[in-house]
Structure 1
Amino acid sequence: MIRKLLAAFSLLFLFAQNAVALESDRNQSVLVEADEVEMDFSSGTRIYRGNVSVRQGTIRIIADQIELIYKGEQLDHGIATGNPAVFRQRPDGKDHDVIGTGRRIELDEMQNIVTFIGDARLRQDRDAIEGERIVYDMARDRMIVRGGDASPTRTTRVGEDADTALPTQDGERPRMVLQPDALGDESAGTGTPAATRSAPSKSEQAYVGETGAPVFATQSVTGASLGTLPSGLPVRVLRMEDGWAQVNTPHSVRVWIYGKFVSADSGIATVTGSAVRLRSIPSTGPSSVVLGEAAKGQRVRVLSVKGKWKEIEASADLKVWIPSPRIEASENPSTWERDWRESSSKAAEG
């Protein structure tokens, strides 16, 4: 397996001039994670492939591949592709992130425009819009949405019920369905298009697809990231819901635990407290999701330390969420069982 490359750049190459980003974004370095990076200095092109993640302040992009094109030392534009690729940012003066998805996301650095193409979706708080192509002008806070023959433009609010949605014929006509605030579901996340390949059903054995799978604490790309599952990893599907799969996985999930209840700062350690909570982030604040508990005497692998908290690899019985298009059903139960045992053994051995 290609070792994951971790590149932290002090040069703010992504949205450094963004007029609508929070001021704090501009003062933070950019962190890029990918399985592979290709740099062509003659053409100014840099290509990041495999489970690509970009972070800068409130900005986050998740994609299978991101291509950045420079003119001299200045970033000109970028192209992110995925199934789907995800863009998130907190506009200045807003209380909620703008979250967009599409099979292709084009970033125009000079014009401050983001274009979502292919099953495009854009959401902020409880309002969402869908179309084949969404052009979002961040500087002016305006957008243009275009639907296709098979994919009408649709504006909704979280809480829309499938039985009350308008028909989807006459794809060129914009459609709107609004629900009263009292009917909204505050916990609803960004929907992910249903997989076109064979997808596992509830309580089914499955494998992570060839592009890997980002792991989240909740059914939302805005939730805390718990790592990335590698391609080919066996997973146990517990349930499928709205484009998401709740799974158990033998390894590659990272969670946080209060450090005083873990016997060591690195390597294999022992939990010294009883029923110690496992959290999505190193905090007890309202945004911290309790994912489970660690029993006294349980052996864990410490991955990092942050203040009073320690990051550990979660056990296989922890329930986490991944986008359902990123997994494929197993065709051979006995092979899956063998792969699960081998993956669990490797995780235990480190």
Structure 2
Amino acid sequence: MKQNKNLGCRILRRSSCCLLLLALFSTSVCALESDGDQPIIIDSNTATYDDVKAISTYTGNVISIQGSIRVNSDKLVVYFIDGEADKMVFTGNLAKFKQTPHEGDPDITGEALTGEYYPKKNLLVLIGKATVWQGSGAYASDFIEYDLKTSLVKAGEKESDNKRVHVVLQPKGKEQAQGQEKKTTVKDNNK
């Protein structure tokens, strides 16, 4: 038991130190395609590790960061296989995530009661009151899959016709359209 407590303290110290280093270097980390290659850094109020079950549990203002991906939740449970994080389950009064899909693109943000992140698959599954936004568009459903590598969003469940998907696509405002034209003109002039 004492070893598990010491391990938890070491994990917390390392997590806090790594989080500070990540904050200092965050401007150079716009890893978008390489998000999956970055370390997962977790900061929380408490942490426990069950060596027999290979499960680590974090509670209280949990912040998880991997490259440009950031998740805030009340609780996080990490399931390990052969020492690597295989599945991460985020829960809370709407756990929230943010990712920069490509440099210069608007962030993709979302929230749900439960989030399941599969680091090896670059897959985030949002369950219960799930919503995903990018720019002026939004998807809302009880079930949303988000492929972090390709930025592909799939909403709804094929098995159920009674669970609907709600999508909002906002038209570009006059100022946005003019700004886009200016960007295009600047790009064309730089050829």
TM-score normalised by structure 1 residue count: 0.38
Query: Which of 36, 57, 60 is 1:50 aligned to?
Result: 60
**Deviation digits for residues 206-253 of structure 1, max 9, x if unmatched?**
xxxxxxxxxxxxxxxxxxxxxxxxxxxxxxxxxxxxxxxxxxxxxxxx
* Other-structure match for 2:95: 85
Kept in 1, the 8 Å contact 2:32–2:149? The answer is no
Kept in 1, the 8 Å contact 2:36–2:119? The answer is no
Q: Partners of 2:16 and 2:34 in 1: how far apart?
A: 17
- In structure 2, the CA distance between the partners of 1:78 and 1:156, relative to structure 1 (3 Å rule), is same
RCO (CA 8 Å, sep 6+): is it higher in 1 or 2?
2
Q: Partners of 1:105 and 1:154 in 2: how far apart?
A: 19
Query: Which of 140, 143, 147 is 1:133 aligned to?
Result: 143
- In structure 2, the CA distance between the partners of 1:54 and 1:152, relative to structure 1 (3 Å rule), is same
TM-score normalised by structure 2 residue count: 0.67
Query: Which of 70, 73, 76 is 1:66 aligned to?
Result: 76
* Other-structure match for 2:165: 153
Q: Which amino acid aligns with 1:146?
A: G
Give how far 1:30 is off: 4.3
Give how far 1:24 is off: 7.0
Give how far 1:152 is off: 3.3
- In structure 2, the CA distance between the partners of 1:35 and 1:146, relative to structure 1 (3 Å rule), is same
Percent identical among aligned pairs is 27
For the residue of structure 2 that corresponds to 1:84, the secondary structure is strand
For the residue of structure 1 that corresponds to 2:110, the secondary structure is strand
Alignment of 1:139-178 (within 5 A): 139-146=149-156, 152-157=164-169
Q: Partners of 1:36 and 1:66 in 2: how far apart?
A: 10
Q: Partners of 1:95 and 1:83 in 2: how far apart?
A: 28
For the residue of structure 2 that corresponds to 1:92, the secondary structure is coil
Q: Partners of 1:181 and 1:60 in 2: how far apart?
A: 27
**Deviation digits for residues 2-59 of structure 1, max 9, x if unmatched?**
xxx552476xxxxxxxxx9426756765442211111012221100011111234422
Alignment of 1:2-81 (within 5 A): 7-8=15-16, 21-22=31-32, 25=35, 30-81=40-91
Alignment of 1:1-350 (within 5 A): 7-8=15-16, 21-22=31-32, 25=35, 30-146=40-156, 152-157=164-169, 179-182=170-173
- In structure 2, the CA distance between the partners of 1:92 and 1:181, relative to structure 1 (3 Å rule), is closer
CA RMSD of aligned residues (A): 3.0
Q: Partners of 2:166 and 2:117 in 1: how far apart?
A: 23
Q: Partners of 1:27 and 1:141 in 2: how far apart?
A: 16
Aligned residues: 151
Give how far 1:141 is off: 3.1
Structure 2: runs of 5 or more not aligned = 1-11, 19-29, 177-191
Kept in 2, the 8 Å contact 1:9–1:30? The answer is no
- In structure 2, the CA distance between the partners of 1:141 and 1:56, relative to structure 1 (3 Å rule), is closer
Kept in 2, the 8 Å contact 1:9–1:31? The answer is no
Q: Which amino acid aligns with 2:46?
A: E
Q: Which amino acid aligns with 2:171?
A: P
Kept in 1, the 8 Å contact 2:36–2:122? The answer is no
Q: Relative to total residues, which structure has the larger helix share, 1 or 2?
A: 2
For the residue of structure 1 that corresponds to 2:105, the secondary structure is coil
Q: Partners of 1:131 and 1:9 in 2: how far apart?
A: 37
For the residue of structure 1 that corresponds to 2:173, the secondary structure is helix
